[in-house]
Amino acid sequence: MAKTVEGIAGLEALVGEHLGYSDWLEITQDRVNTFADATGDHQWIHVDPERAKAESPFGGPIAHGYLTLSLGPVLMPTIMTVTGVKMGVNYGCGKVRFPSPVPVGSKLRLGAQLDSVERLPGDGAQVQMTFTFEVEGAPKPSCVA
C-alpha cells in the first residue's frame, strides 16, 4: 500500500530514505508496440517477436529503455502519494543508465529513494529521487535514474 506524505515538510522528513517498491507490472508486447507507435522507434528488437527470437542476443523482444523510464509516473503512486501540494512537474533526469534489458512478458517494479528536497521561492520545491527499475528474477536493474 502506498504511503501518504503530507506536503513539502513531509518530503523533507524522508530525505535519504528508501521509500519502498511499487507493485509488479507485466511488460506486454502490446505496451511495447504502443510505445513504438508513440515514439516512432520501431526497431525490430522491440516490435518483431519472431525476428527477435531468431536473431537477437536477448532471445526475444525487449522493451525500449525509454519505455521503462517512462513508467515512473505509472508506478510511483503505488509507492507514495503526496497530499497538500498543488501539482508535480517533471523537471528532468540526471544520470540515466540501462544496465540490463526488460524482456517482453517479464514483470517490472520500481524502487525509489528520496535524495533531496530543495525549497524554491513561493510554495515550490525541487525534489530529487533515484529510481531503480528491476525485472523480477534479474541479477541487475534494468534502469537506474
Contact 115, 16 (CB under 8 A): yes
* Residue spans per domain, the chain: 3-144
Contact 106, 27 (CB under 8 A): yes
In this predicted structure, what is the pLDDT of residue 92? Answer: 86
Contact 133, 96 (CB under 8 A): no
Q: Report the DSSP pairing between strands 3-6 and 125-135.
A: unpaired
In this predicted structure, what is the pLDDT of residue 117? Answer: 96
Mean pLDDT, 10 residues at a time, the chain of 145 residues: 94 98 98 99 99 98 99 97 90 94 99 96 93 98 99
In this predicted structure, what is the pLDDT of residue 129? Answer: 97
Q: What is the DSSP letter of 76?
A: G
> What topology is assigned to 3-144 in CATH?
Thiol Ester Dehydrase; Chain A (3.10.129)
C-alpha torsion angle, residues 114, 14, 117, 18 (rounded to 10): -10
In this predicted structure, what is the pLDDT of residue 120? Answer: 93
In this predicted structure, what is the pLDDT of residue 98? Answer: 98
In this predicted structure, what is the pLDDT of residue 58? Answer: 97
Question: Torsion-angle region of residue 30: left (phi > 0), alpha (psi -120 to 50) or beta?
Answer: alpha
Furthest C-alpha separation in the chain: 57
